[in-house]
Amino acid sequence: MTPPPAQVLEHASAPAATGEPGPGRTPGWPGRAGRTPGWLPRGDRARAAFALARRNWAASAFAVSAVFALVTALTSFNAPERMWGAFAAVSYAVSAVVAAVTRRRGISLAVLISLAGAVAAPLAVMAATGVAQPEVAVVIRSATMLVHQGTPYANPAALAAAHSWRAYDPYLPALIAFGVPRVFVGGLFGDPRVWFGVVFEATFAAAVRIARIPRPVWSTVLVTASPVVALPLAVGGDDLPVLGLMCLGLALVSRGSRSQWRWAAAAGLALGLATAMKATAWPAVAVVAVLLIARQGWRAVTGFAAAVLGVALAVDGPAVAAHPAAALANTVLYPLGLAKVASPAASMLPGHMLASTGALGHWAALLLMALAGAGVGAWMIVRPPRDAHGAGWRLALGLALVFVLAPASRVGYFVYPLGLAAWLLLSRWPDLPGDRQSIQNRSTGGTPSRFTTESSTPPHDSMTAREPMLSSSQVTSTRPTPAARAMIRLCRRISVA
């Protein structure tokens, strides 16, 4: 509701003297830092605070990333990670300086510098020199077997004769397909990491777009340039396509309502492809199924489950059915630590440290991991998520607990909860997914207008306004002062950066 003319004139008057409470001031705190002047319009005040804080936080974030990369370069026992740290530390440091001192489009320029120095440059050098994590070599070898022998897995007899973890392949056929280009072409475009990154970019950008986040391409580039994605993409990257598809599935299910079960089926297609790549996507299927049951009923979850199982069976079924014993030994027994050869995945996480004490510790770690999963499942049953935002946070927490307690785990697995958290923070879903009015409010300003929440009265400049019009003298008196206009121009200049 528009304030009366008397209040408008009061706001337009000169600001209160020092020490006196006035509009936009806190009594007893004259000129308090972080407070914008009360004579700025409400939207410009919020925009000014956000724009000024955004530049400082961007420079700080790049500086923290530079420190992380430097520590990785100096302390990691993994050669690809040390190489990435050397490249990324320099690029993030330069990005921090650019974000801090460049007035116009400094943040965008800093993000592009980080993308080039922390992703493109180390990936190109590693692809040219053959430096990569072991999983890249496993994907290439299994893809060669798939093309020439029809199966990506060595049979149990060959595994027993080799007696080496290098003979095993814990990945499913859909993920192994990323190594097929290397069978026919070499160089950069034959490296599986390039295609891991392409699929992640496409699926994550689609998820951001479906969530109605402004500037989806820029948001995707920002997340890719961060260490959360840049490090695994440069050195390995096999988890990134699965992460992108999980985000896409959550975005699709967020758009559905009780009468739009097709969105649930589309989410099932995305998550079905993710489960066809790695078993780490199955917790996402369970979380989304509980969400659909709580929000849309059994019809939606039936279509969702049919889509998940149909895609997984269609993609992985032929290769698994051809040699089921080999697929069981490689993709089930070996990841669980039940094969004759232990996985080289090692870390200082509690589950791995407990499993390293012996057989009893290994089974204790498996039991703790199962109890953690059961606890998250019970929490979801007692208090099921009502929207995709709540489902996403439950999924991130559950995956983090499982990775902490898994007997054969590594720190790289935490790209799943961290990536999900980044996407959830970007999306800012409303309380009721599928509510077009909430989505429109978020895309146009972030919060619902007071004209839609408090009353149905349109703004005062509408042709159908029911509120009293201000006289020309009153309108003239409410114009911002020169200082206010200068602040508004500064905010707009920073916000486009």
In contact, 142 and 176? CB cutoff 8 Å: yes
Q: What is the pLDDT of residues 237-288, one digit of tens each?
A: 899 999 999 999 999 988 866 556 788 889 999 999 999 999 899 999 999 9
Q: State how far the Cα of 254 lies from the Cα of 252, in Å rounded to an integer.
A: 5
Cα distance between residue 19 and residue 27, in whole Å: 7
DSSP track, 374-403: HHHHHHHHHS--SSHHHHHHHHHHHHHHHH
Residue 481 lies in a domain: no
Domain of 222 in residue numbering reads as 132-438
452-486 pLDDT, tens digit per residue, is 333 333 333 333 333 344 344 443 334 444 544 55
Q: Are 223 and 212 in contact (CB under 8 A)?
A: no
Please indicate, yes or no, if residue 411 is contained in any of the structural domains. yes
Angle at 291 between CA 290 and CA 296, to 5 degrees: 110
pTM higher than 0.85 for the full model?
A: no
- Tell me the pLDDT of the chain (497 aa) as tens digits: 444 544 433 344 344 444 444 444 434 333 334 444 443 444 565 566 555 555 577 788 899 999 999 999 999 888 999 999 999 999 999 999 998 888 778 888 999 999 999 999 999 999 988 899 888 999 999 999 999 888 899 888 888 888 888 888 889 999 999 999 998 887 888 899 999 999 999 999 999 999 888 888 888 999 999 999 999 999 988 999 999 999 999 999 888 665 567 888 899 999 999 999 998 999 999 999 999 888 877 777 888 999 999 999 999 989 888 888 889 988 888 887 777 777 776 667 787 788 778 778 878 888 888 888 888 888 888 888 888 888 999 999 999 998 888 877 777 888 999 999 988 888 764 332 333 333 344 444 443 333 233 333 333 333 333 334 434 444 333 444 454 455 445 444 444 44
CB atoms closer than 10 angstroms to residue 67: 14
The Cα angle at residue 286 between residues 283 and 291, in degrees rounded to 5: 125
Q: 3-state DSSP call for residue 29?
A: strand
Contact 52, 493 (CB under 8 A): no
Tokens found for residue 387: 């929207």
CA 212 to chain centroid, in Å, comes to 15
Domain total for the chain? 1
Pairwise CA distance, residues 54 & 42, whole Å: 18
Beta-carbon neighbour count of residue 428 at 10 Å? 12
Find out whether 341 and 164 touch, Cβ atoms under 8 Å.
Answer: yes
Cα 488 to Cα 484: distance, rounded to the nearest angstrom: 6
In a domain, 296, yes or no: yes
52 in any annotated domain: no
Domain assignment present for 298: yes
Look at residue 483 and tell me if it is in a domain. Answer: no
> Does some domain include residue 60?
no
Helix/strand/coil for 453: helix
Write the pLDDT tens digit of every residue in 18-66. 444 444 443 433 333 444 444 344 456 556 655 555 557 778 889 999 9
- Strand, coil or helix: what is 339? coil
Q: Is residue 71 assigned to a domain?
A: no
